Amino acid sequence: MISVTGAQAAITCNAGRRLAAYHCSRTSAQHHHSLTAGAVVQQHLLLKRTDMVHRIIEWSLRNRFIVLVMSAALFAWGIFAVKKNPIDAIPDLSENQVIVFTEWMGRGPQLIEDQVTYPLVTNLQGLPRIKYVRGASMFGMSFIYVIFNDDVDIYWARERVLERLSTVARTLPTGVTPQLGPDGTGVGHILWYTLDAPGMDLGEQRALQDWYIKFALQNVEGVSEIASFGGFQKQYQITVDPNKLLYYRLSVAEVMSAIRTNNNESGGRKFELSDIGYIIKTSGYLKSVAEIENIPVKTQNSIPIRIADVAAVQMTGETRLGIFDQDGRGERVGGIVVMRYGENADAVIDKVKAKMKEVSKGFPEGVKFDIVYDRGALIKESVDSIRHTLIEEMIVVSVVVIIFLFHWRSALSIIIQIPITLAASFILLNAFGISSNIMSLTGIALAIGVIVDNGIIMSENAYKHLAERYALWEAQQKRK
């Protein structure tokens, strides 16, 4: 019984081995068949691609004039793209952001954070296609940075933020109005200037900057904002004496109300007298320190109590958080030219300088511009350096190709590819919104060697096949 069982087990084991071997061989055959089928498909696709390349080459050789015309048209289009491509010294890698600026002077950072920054950040987080929202609070000011996706149009993003601000503004404290920052980028500061005015004080220089220069330069095409800095912003300052307020039984609110109501202008109506029409209006804007001092606050025992009786009025500058000093020679007043998003930095700088020459004609005697930072010089030096490098590389590559091929027609066909390819590359730069800067032009310079490689390989291959066929033809002729 035991021996029979052992034999059965042996038979079963042998049968299992044969069955496993059969399955293994069948699986291997299927796998080999699938691999063979895949190789056939790949070879078929390769043959189709090779056949397509052969047809393109054959068509090009049979229609040389059409190929030359197409190449000339591509080169002309590339030259046009070179002229239209914006030029800058450095690439703009800044984020696609919209800045919301809110001013609430006299308040501390914590109060600004709680009542201005936090409500704005929480409400702006629900905008579509944004990455994140950043907030920063400081004394009297709040900054919100709304970062959108890179493929979002900047003006579409500004519209979305503006729509949301119209509903959020109602939740902010009275008198607090958020506003959008300029439509510029992190590299938008293209020119800084100061005023060289030895005969004017800082207040007069700041007034000249804010009320004459700023408005003129803002009209230049491509300029987003003129940010003023330095000097004193003139204002009427009223310093109230608390003892006098207590003596006359007045409050600060009453003094503020009296000044506000007297600094106003309103219109009446039109009436006719002797066939002549007259327009009635009141002129109540305050224009001097004396007018402010004579404003009545209240009347006691038929005697008016004026502003001069309870406060001191003077013309002074707004409280400053810092100064601008140039080269250690003292304070200066000036401005920063901020370029609009997507503009040509080199062209905008040239337009601003032309406008500055026109504006300077209206300056008081002895006043002139002093340019502190000019990216135009950096742009010209950078682009000229890269341009010279490109020309040198083209010459060197052409000489090397001529020497190694030692066949002027083959070398000419390869050298022609360099300017055509460089011109065509600017078409793609314009299509993708990339400016001509150090990075993009350096990449083109590095690619010159790769541009000629293909032409050299094709020329050598064609020359080799022609030489082989010519040798075969000579052998056949000798046999005859």
Res 23 pLDDT > 70: no
Res 169 pLDDT > 90: no
Q: Is residue 143 exposed (0-12), middle (13-18) or buried (19+ Cβ within 10 Å)?
A: middle
Note the pLDDT tens digit of each residue in 179-207: 999 988 888 889 999 999 988 888 899 99
Range with the lowest mean pLDDT among 47-51, 202-206, 233-237, 353-357?
A: 47-51
Range with the lowest mean pLDDT among 144-153, 175-184, 320-329?
A: 320-329
Note the pLDDT tens digit of each residue in 73-105: 999 999 998 888 888 878 888 888 999 999 998
What's the token pair of residue 323? 């100064």
Q: How confident is the model at residue 38 (pLDDT cuts 50, 70, 90)?
A: low
User: To 10 degrees, what angle do helices 375-405 and 417-431 make?
Assistant: 140
Strand, helix or coil at 402?
helix
Residue 411 carries which side chain, given as an amino acid letter? A
Give the mean pLDDT of 52-75: 85
By the 8 A CB rule, do 195 and 214 touch?
no
Q: How confident is the model at residue 425 (pLDDT cuts 50, 70, 90)?
A: confident
Question: Can you tell me the distance from the alpha carbon of 215 to that of 193, in angstroms, rounded to the nearest whole number?
Answer: 15
Residue percentage of the chain with pLDDT more than 90: 35
By the 8 A CB rule, do 401 and 411 touch?
yes
Strand, helix or coil at 332?
coil
462 vs 33, more confident: 462
pLDDT at 161: 94
Question: Can you tell me the distance from the alpha carbon of 409 to that of 138, in angstroms, rounded to the nearest whole number?
Answer: 70
pLDDT at 26: 44
Note the pLDDT tens digit of each residue in 261-306: 888 877 777 778 887 888 887 777 888 899 999 999 998 888 899 9
pLDDT at 36: 60
Give the mean pLDDT of 437-445: 79
Could you count the other beta carbons within 10 Å of the beta carbon of residue 74?
15
49 vs 425, more confident: 425
Q: How confident is the model at residue 213 (pLDDT cuts 50, 70, 90)?
A: very high
Strand partners, 300: 303
Q: How confident is the model at residue 223 (pLDDT cuts 50, 70, 90)?
A: very high
101 vs 20, more confident: 101
Question: Can you tell me the distance from the alpha carbon of 20 to that of 194, in angstroms, rounded to the nearest whole number?
Answer: 91
Q: Is residue 382 exposed (0-12), middle (13-18) or buried (19+ Cβ within 10 Å)?
A: buried
pLDDT at 21: 40
Give the mean pLDDT of 145-168: 91
Write the Ramachandran bin of 316: left for phi over 0, alpha for psi from -120 to 50, otherwise beta: beta
Give the mean pLDDT of 442-466: 78
Q: Mean pLDDT for the chain?
A: 83
420 vs 46, more confident: 420
Give the mean pLDDT of 233-240: 89
162 vs 393, more confident: 162
Q: b/e for 42-73, b at 16 or more Cβ within 10 A?
A: eeeeeeeeeeeeeeeeeeeeeeeeeeeeeeee
pLDDT at 109: 92
pLDDT at 46: 64
Query: Residue 108 — φ and ψ, nearest 5°?
Result: -75, 165
Give the mean pLDDT of 149-171: 90
How far is Cα of residue 235 from the mean position of the Cα atoms in its chain?
36
What's the token pair of residue 255? 């003094």
Taken as a whole, the chain contains a residue count of 480
Q: Which long-range contacts (CB under 8 A, 24 or more apart) does 317-321 make?
A: 317/202, 317/203, 317/231, 317/232, 317/233, 317/234, 317/235, 318/232, 318/233, 318/234, 318/235, 320/232, 321/139
Note the pLDDT tens digit of each residue in 377-392: 888 888 788 778 778 8
Res 118 pLDDT > 90: yes
By the 8 A CB rule, do 107 and 400 touch?
no
Instruction: Tell me the Cα Rg of the chain.
Output: 40
58's CB contacts (< 8 A; 6+ apart) are none
Question: Can you tell me the distance from the alpha carbon of 219 to that of 229, in angstroms, rounded to the nearest whole number?
Answer: 19
Res 235 pLDDT > 90: no
464 vs 259, more confident: 259
pLDDT at 44: 61
pLDDT at 352: 95
Could you count the other beta carbons within 10 Å of the beta carbon of residue 95?
14
